[in-house]
Structure 1
Amino acid sequence: GGVVRAIIGVTGIRNLLSKSLGSTNKVNIAYATIEALNGLVPHEQWLGVKASAKAKAGEEE
């Protein structure tokens, strides 16, 4: 709760639901939160991948 809220608050994200399974060690939760943020794909990049996948599907037909 508190560790995730503190890290996410810095990013400007206002609505978030989180659940920690397993360890409740604050350091592990902070590390996992930062790793999850690093794994996010920017919206523009995601749209580009989606559009290129549709283009490839259209070429195969």
Structure 2
Amino acid sequence: VTNGFDGTVSKIDAVTGMVADTITVGNSPSAVAFDGTNIWVTNDVDGTVSKIPVG
């Protein structure tokens, strides 16, 4: 889940629905994609893409 106002994304526990982790990314994260190995996050304000390794 992107948290656009604080530059983070949150990992949600599928069982509990609670935030399991919060990861800092770029300024104003807006979209998330998963390629089977990494999570990619677009950051609108600074025009970057953040890579989050999974595993």
Please identify which structure carries the higher helix content.
1
Which protein shows a greater Rg? 1
TM more than 0.5: no
For the aligned pair, the TM-score class normalised by the smaller chain equals: under 0.3
Please identify which structure carries the higher strand content.
2
Report the TM-score, using the length of structure 2 for normalisation.
0.26
